[in-house]
Amino acid sequence: MDATEIPLKAPPTMTSDVRANDVEHVERALIDASTRVPVLMFYTSAIVWLLLGTLVAGLVSWKMHAPDWLANCSWLTWGRVRPAHTNIMVYGWGCMVGMGTAIWLMARLCRTTLRHPLLLVAGAALWNLGVLLGVGSVLAGESTGYQWLEFPPYAALVLFIAYTIIMSWAVLMFRFRRGDQIYITQWYLLGAFLWFPWMFAAAHVMLFITPVQGVMQSAVNWWFANNLMFLWFGAIGLGTAYYMIPKVIGRPVYSYHLAAIGFWTYALFASWTGMQRLVDAPFPAWMITASIAAAILSIIPVATVAVNHHMTMRGYFSLMRYSPTLRFTVFGAFSYTVFSLFGVFISLRSIARYLQFTQASVAYSHMGLYAFYTMIMFGSMYYIVPRIVGREWRSSSLIKTHFWMSAYGIGLMSMMLIAGAMFEGTALNDPTKEFVQSVYAIQPFIVGRSVSGILLTIAHFVFAYHFVLMLLGLGRTSTLPTFLNPVSAEGSEDGH
């Protein structure tokens, strides 16, 4: 396709040429303006947590091959910085950026301005406080010992109250929505908003208030962790992709029916996974088998979503050359397929006997939370931020740096961990080899993982710098969005 034929139009932002009779544009501008403060609050906090989590991740990764580095300080011991890293990324970065994007999408799709935005700001502040409290107590040695639920109950309570404030406002937008049609993105977002409090509360009740006995705690723990991945992060990520891809290329979703099938099978099958992370653990075999079956069946939603996105994109793939949003979103949507298939692969019993206790599960988490979810979130931020600050991204080369560093970083990290896990798992499962052989096997790959982490660190700092420029109002004033590769000379070069 010739670049000049591409229907790249100026997005209807406030800065675009708004005519008095163009009601839609005015309406959108009003909606965007009403979401400005809370969404920027969520985004800013998320990026601060992202940078912090990235630095802590550096500690975690480096200490694995330099175990004596900073080891003599109790709150910097590996076993504390690791849960600090995962929880910062999950609750600090992932939840906050997801809620920011979701609020904006909800307002746009319900075609209603956000009422009482300051309450959302208060919710965001409280959420920040909860994460800060939780991370602090994990570093102080107060971790609960359940993965992704390490925050002690008091910090979790703060998070829950904050969440209630935030969610009620997001769901209330439905009351004021205009139009009968509920768009695909709204299904996913509504699902995420209703699922999260349930699983968060259920997990805490079953682990801390009326604790279940023995190994059932692990079942509850993994049920929660997996559903947090799929029904919270996954639902927000997929919902966002269903908005961004059609929006950017200016063409409706290929098939509504396919999307409906995808949504309901996703809710059904993805929610039943979880126990496949505990293959051959001390549980009744049916539990694990059910989860493995659910993981395999979740290929159905994966396939429908992939086909739907692919058919929507067909003929427009070359737009990825220009639109940062599209590039990040398509990368994320594609990673969703890879992530899910890898999840099926490692849950098969014959594979799990090798990979069960290796770095493969770390690779899996990163593919889900980063390659899929975070990349889509980056994409949505590249779309949303210009619309709410009224400026365009300043520099296409900063965006390109961000994209390639992130893409290569996460790609390298996944490959390092998966390849390393193969060697590690083979050594682990061979009883004639000493245990330490499995450590030797993974060691070079762990070093490689640290290198990939450097790429991600650069990406995140570049992005944060760019975001701060936007916050300070230093973005470009232009009628054209910032393209990665300028279509025409005028208006899209740097240096305005």
Q: Under rule CB under 8 A, which residues in 231-270 are in contact with other proteins?
A: 231, 256, 260, 264, 267-268
Q: How far is the CB of 122 from other proteins (least distance, A)?
A: 26
- Give the tokens for residue 125: 């502040």
CB of 156 vs other proteins, minimal distance in Å: 14
- Residue of the chain from 28, 36, 63, 366 that contacts other proteins (CB under 8 A): 63
**Binding status of residue 447 toward other proteins by CB under 8 A:** no
Closest CA to 299 of 335, 332, 338, 248: 338
The reply on whether position 209 binds other proteins by CB under 8 A is no
User: Interacting stretch for other proteins, rule CB under 8 A, among 7-15, 68-76, 91-99, 478-486?
Assistant: 68-76
**What is the Cα–Cα distance from 182 to 9, expressed in whole angstroms?**
26
Site membership for other proteins, residue 199 (CB under 8 A): yes
CB of 390 to other proteins, least distance (A): 33
> Which positions from 81 through 110 interact with other proteins, judged by CB under 8 A?
82-83
Number of Cβ within 10 Å of residue 337's Cβ equals 17
Q: By CB under 8 A, is residue 214 in contact with other proteins? A: yes
What whole-number distance in Å separates Cα of residue 331 and Cα of residue 240?
A: 13
* Binding of other proteins by 427 (CB under 8 A): no
Closest contact distance (angstroms) between CB of 412 and other proteins is 20
Give how far the C-alpha of residue 338 lies from the chain's centroid of Cα atoms, to the nearest Å: 15
User: Which listed residue (218, 308, 380, 482) binds other proteins by CB under 8 A?
Assistant: 218
Distance between CA atoms of 184 and 238, rounded to whole angstroms? 10
- Shortest Å distance, C-beta 38 to other proteins: 23
Residues 132-151 interacting with other proteins (rule: CB under 8 A): 141-147
Q: Does 111 bind other proteins (CB under 8 A)?
A: no
Stretch that binds other proteins, among 24-32, 207-215, 244-252, 337-345 (CB under 8 A): 207-215
Tell me, letter by letter, the H, E, C secondary structure of the chain. Answer: CCHHHCCCCCCCCCCCCCCCCCHHHHHHHHHHHHHHHHHHHHHHHHHHHHHHHHHHHHHHHHHHHCCCCCCCCHHHCHHHHHHHHHHHHHHHHHHHHHHHHHHHHHHHHHCCCCCCHHHHHHHHHHHHHHHHHHHHHHHCCCCCCCCCCCCCHHHHHHHHHHHHHHHHHHHHHHHCCCCCCCCHHHHHHHHHHHHHHHHHHHHHHHHHHCCCCCCHHHHHHHHHHHHHHHHHHHHHHHHHHHHHHHHHHCCCCCCHHHHHHHHHHHHHHHCCCCHHHHCCCCCCHHHHHHHHHHHHHCHHHHHHHHHHHHHHHCCCHHHHHCCHHHHHHHHHHHHHHHHHHHHHHHHCHHHHHHHCCCCHHHHHHHHHHHHHHHHHHHHHHHHHHHHHHCCECCCHHHHHHHHHHHHHHHHHHHHHHHHHHHHHHHHHCCCCCCHHHHHHHHHHHHHHHHHHHHHHHHHHHHHHHHHHHHHCCCCECCCCCCCCCCCCCCCCCCCC
Exactly one of 72, 209, 489, 495 binds other proteins (CB under 8 A); that residue is 72
Residue 311 interacts with other proteins (CB under 8 A)? no
Residue 187 lies near other proteins (rule: CB under 8 A)? yes
Environment class of residue 208 by beta-carbon count within 10 Å: exposed (0-12), middle (13-18) or buried (19+)?
A: middle
459 binds other proteins (CB under 8 A): no
Task: Between 285 and 472, name the residue whose CB sits nearer to other proteins.
Answer: 285
Applying CB under 8 A, the span of 26-34, 157-165, 432-440, 476-484 interacting with other proteins comes to: 432-440
Q: Does 400 bind other proteins (CB under 8 A)?
A: no
Q: How many residues bind other proteins (CB under 8 A)?
A: 89
Binding status of residue 373 toward other proteins by CB under 8 A: no
Residue 163 vs 322, nearer CB to other proteins: 163
**272 vs 483, beta carbon nearer other proteins:** 272
**Distance linking the first and last C-alpha atoms of the chain:** 29
Residue among 440, 468, 479, 485 that touches other proteins (CB under 8 A): 440
Q: Is 205 in the site for other proteins (CB under 8 A)?
A: no
298 touches other proteins by CB under 8 A: no
Q: Is 284 in the site for other proteins (CB under 8 A)?
A: yes
Choices 39-47, 202-210, 303-311, 381-389; region in contact with other proteins by CB under 8 A: 202-210
Q: What is the widest separation between alpha-carbon atoms in the chain?
A: 79
Give me the least distance between CB of 134 and other proteins, in Å please: 14
CB of 201 to other proteins, least distance (A): 11
Contact between 80 and other proteins by CB under 8 A: the answer reads yes
Please give the residues from 15 up to 34 whose contact with other proteins meets the rule CB under 8 A: none
Contact call for residue 197 and other proteins (CB under 8 A): no
**Is 356 among the residues that bind other proteins (CB under 8 A)?**
yes
For other proteins, give the closer residue by CB, 228 or 459: 228
207 binds other proteins (CB under 8 A): yes
Nearer Cβ to other proteins, position 320 or 417? 417
